[in-house]
Amino acid sequence: MSEETSLPNWKASISHPELTGKIKDALRQVRDPEIGSDVVQLGLIREVEISENNIVITMILTTPYCPYGPAMMESARRIVQDETGKSTTIIYGSEVWDQSMMEDPTAFNWGLF
């Protein structure tokens, strides 16, 4: 998968550009406690759709059995809902995460070398 296709292009960027930055900033407060990066930087937020009264976010995890997954997803839901005032739902996406999904995969030191 190329870097171009692995980075999400949220539908909200087109339908509600005024809220996209606000949502992205709010989601940057949600961090993966094991990795130390936020869910936007990691590319875990795959889609954001906004209707008049609701926001639906598709989110994946770095591993399917991430012990912090439920807490991160609830934190993301709550922070977006608080920031926007719109009812927010998080859907667990079916994509398998890999490092190419990150905003800048070359900037992260995984400590493997």
Do the Cβ atoms of 10 and 20 come closer than 8 Å? yes
Instruction: Look up the pTM and report it.
Output: 0.85
Residue appearing with tokens 């800048």: 104
The predicted pLDDT at position 104 comes to: 80
Kindly give the confidence (pLDDT) of every residue in the chain, 113 residues in length, as a single tens digit, with 9 standing for 90 and above.
Answer: 334 445 567 888 888 888 999 999 999 999 999 888 999 999 999 999 999 899 999 999 999 889 999 999 999 999 999 999 999 999 999 999 988 899 887 666 555 44
Distance between CA atoms of 23 and 21, rounded to whole angstroms?
A: 5
Indicate the DSSP class of residue 39.
Answer: T
C-alpha 100/C-alpha 51 separation (Å) is: 29
d(CA 113, CA 49): 39
Domains and CATH numbers, the chain: 19-98 (3.30.300.130)
| 88 sits in which H/E element | strand 87-92
